[in-house]
Amino acid sequence: MATYISLIPAIPLLGFLVLALFGQKLTRKTIGIIGAGSVGIVALLTLIAGTEFLKSLPQVKSYSVVVWQWINAGNLKADISFSLDALSLVFCFVITFVGFLIHVYSIEFMAKDEGFSRFFAYMNLFVGSMLILVLADNILLLYLGWEGVGLCSYLLIGFWYKEPANGYAARKAFIITRIGDTAMIIGIFILFLSFGTVNINDLMQQASGKWAAGSPIAVLTAALLLGGALGKSAQLPLQTWLPDAMAGPSPVSALIHAATMVTAGVYLIARTHVLYSLAPIVQTAIAIIGALTLLIAGFSALAQHDLKRILAYSTISQIGYMFLALGVGAWSAAVFHFMIHAFFKALLFLAAGVVILVLNEEHDIFKMGGLRKKMPVVYMTFLIGASSLSALPLITAGFYSKDAILWYSISSETGSTLLWLAGITGAFLTALYSFRMIFITFFGEAKTQPAFLPGKTMTIPLIILAVFSVFAGFVELPKSMGNIHLFSSLVDNTLPAVVVNETGHSEIVFQLLSAIIVLAGIYLAYTVYLKKPALSESFSHSRLNRFFEKGWGFDKFYDVIFVKPVVWLAEIDKDDLFDWLNIGISRLALLMNRLLGITQNGKLRWYLMSFTVGIALILTYLICR
């Protein structure tokens, strides 16, 4: 078992090396086989590792393997070492399986792109880095994977680099996540300085032993690590990069900016959950940030015109739900929603990618319409994805995962009615914007004709993901219906179970409420976007709508607060002291050059005279010394 854990991240990285070094010489078929195949093999390996893990579960809760020594300087010892426990297993499973389906899909999606091998090289590098991130045994290696996925995100957002706007979006994503990463690395430094180790398990054990709950250092460290998580997971206030990240190809949005990388923040918080239980203030902040983010992003999603931007805001909003769950200590609910979200959001992005591709890069949903009859498979899968996203009661997986979060947001020890209200409002918004998307894109009259129909390589991954989006929910059913806890009993091997406040809230009432809210949202969408479009039309010109569309003005705000002053300062500070210093050095060098140049005059006897005088001086010095 332990021996092949290290192969899980190694194989995609090998695929990356092969594609990066020889990609130009390989045929497209070979590139596709290497690119998707490497992830497929890893998916199988994860499956084998997972079954073995489950078999040995009650006795052995995690497996570790040290591959080689990485750093050994002073008391800083870090190895390339991996460990697999229930949390990593869930993440590995999602990364490799969803990743594999997206890779297969990409073979057809990117078929005509000139950067075919580059694309698969980056994608494999991403999968490898992400697996390093979730399997890392020490926090430094985790950070390596963390930065690796950030790099791939940058490379893939700017994949079509000939368009300057794409490069801008890529830089924006990179810089904003870097703000969070800087906070995170400072947090890592504090952890290392306090405990002298970087091993995550040791750190967590020592932290719970040595740091008092609520002590300033625990709060500070937890907050700094949270900063990294906020940047990566596009949560308030660092959420502005994600909508622009949609400049990348759709499979990239599906894999990196929906299913896996953006949930790295969720992983980090779940992995270091001990710190957050030591810093209850920060944990409450997580819940509040999650609740605010899900509301803000939900309203923004409602006003977007670009199909992919709707999905981007919806991703921010759904990760907000995960943060809300983390904040109230419902660790397994957060991880469960991560998994289900990965399925349906990857599905939605891939289906949206098909729609955009066949309509010749048309992103505006108001120019689509009527695609239901033309592309039944895409329509059905998109509908399933959107239903799961809006948590359609009973039949979709999204219902079970989101309902768990809603329930714990009020019933957990740290939960509150306000958080629940935010969550339920978010659920209403989710249903509304999901079905707005459906009704406008797939119903009504056709405004643009599809240029061609998607092939099987693209539709089969959609169908598989649609199946998962429905049935994956049945591994975890609430107490009131079914009472199946396969998933949480697995994850609870690694994470503490949620502490429920027994206040006599009846779970079934809340479930009924959220079901009604969702159905109401769908009905409202049906009314205003399909039956009486005039209603939504009048709203779409309002200033409020524009405010939502621009993402609540965060971009503008940051531009005024941060970007403009820095640019202004740089502008007036072109010739400062340091410039003078540098210019002075170069001028001095030139002057010396001229002085020395005079002595090199080509006169042989002048040289001889200099020799003689020089030797005479040296001799005089030696004698008279």
Name which of 324, 299, 315 is nearest 347 in CA terms.
315
Give Cα 310 to chain centroid, integer Å. Answer: 17
Q: How far is the CB of 618 from another protein (least distance, A)?
A: 15
**CB burial string 567-591: b at 16+ within 10 A, e below:** eeeeeeeeeeeeeeeeeeeeeeeee
Q: At what angle are helices 86-109 and 264-271 packed, to 10 degrees?
A: 170
Query: Among residues 608 and 617, whose Cβ is nearest to another protein?
Result: 608
Q: Cβ contacts of residue 143 below 8 Å, gap of 6+? A: 184, 185, 188
Query: Among residues 523 and 606, whose Cβ is nearest to another protein?
Result: 606
Cis status of the peptide bond prior to 454, with omega within 30 of 0 = no
Query: Among residues 586 and 601, whose Cβ is nearest to another protein?
Result: 601
Query: Among residues 557 and 607, whose Cβ is nearest to another protein?
Result: 607
Asked if 500 and 413 count as a contact pair (C-beta separation under 8 A), the reply is yes
Q: How far is the CB of 569 from another protein (least distance, A)?
A: 41
CA 534 – CA 417 distance, rounded (Å): 36
SS (H, E, C) 559-603: HHHHHHHHHHHHHHCCCCHHHHHHHHHHHHHHHHHHHHHHHCCCC
Query: Among residues 561 and 609, whose Cβ is nearest to another protein?
Result: 609
Q: How far is the CB of 611 from another protein (least distance, A)?
A: 10
Q: Cβ contacts of residue 44 below 8 Å, gap of 6+? A: none
Q: How far is the CB of 616 from another protein (least distance, A)?
A: 10
Q: How far is the CB of 612 from another protein (least distance, A)?
A: 7
Q: How far is the CB of 146 from another protein (least distance, A)?
A: 55
CA 431 – CA 302 distance, rounded (Å): 10
CA 149 – CA 153 distance, rounded (Å): 6
Query: Among residues 543 and 603, whose Cβ is nearest to another protein?
Result: 603
Q: Could you say which DSSP state residue 262 is in?
A: G
Q: How far is the CB of 609 from another protein (least distance, A)?
A: 6
Q: How far is the CB of 610 from another protein (least distance, A)?
A: 11
Query: Among residues 567 and 590, whose Cβ is nearest to another protein?
Result: 590
Query: Among residues 569 and 622, whose Cβ is nearest to another protein?
Result: 622
Query: Among residues 112 and 603, whose Cβ is nearest to another protein?
Result: 603
Asked if 249 and 122 count as a contact pair (C-beta separation under 8 A), the reply is no
CA angle (428 as vertex; 426, 434 as ends), nearest 5 = 95
CA 103 – CA 106 distance, rounded (Å): 5
In angstroms, the Cα distances linking 205 to 66, 356, 476 are 20, 49, 29
Q: How far is the CB of 621 from another protein (least distance, A)?
A: 19
Query: Among residues 212 and 598, whose Cβ is nearest to another protein?
Result: 598
Q: How far is the CB of 586 from another protein (least distance, A)?
A: 17
Query: Among residues 60 and 619, whose Cβ is nearest to another protein?
Result: 619
65 forms beta bridges with 82
Q: Of all residues in the chain, what percent are helix, strand and coil, respectively (each to 5)?
A: 75, 5, 20
CA 255 – CA 232 distance, rounded (Å): 14
Pattern of binders to another protein over 588-617, x per CB under 8 A?
A: ------x-xxx-xxxxxx--xx--x-----
Q: How far is the CB of 625 from another protein (least distance, A)?
A: 21
Q: At what angle are helices 7-22 and 28-55 packed, to 10 degrees?
A: 170
One DSSP character per residue, 149-179 reads HHHHHHHHHTSSTTSHHHHHHHHHHHHHHHH
Query: Among residues 471 and 607, whose Cβ is nearest to another protein?
Result: 607
Name which of 510, 296, 288, 504 is nearest 414 in CA terms.
288
Residue with tokens 């992005």: 349
Query: Among residues 567 and 615, whose Cβ is nearest to another protein?
Result: 615
Q: How far is the CB of 126 from another protein (least distance, A)?
A: 55
Is 623 among the residues that bind another protein (CB under 8 A)? Answer: no
Give the total residue count for the chain. 625
Could you say which residues in the range 539-598 bind another protein, by CB under 8 A? 594, 596-598
Q: How far is the CB of 605 from another protein (least distance, A)?
A: 6
Residues in contact with another protein, counted by CB under 8 A, come to a total of 13
Binding site for another protein (CB under 8 A): 594, 596-598, 600-605, 608-609, 612
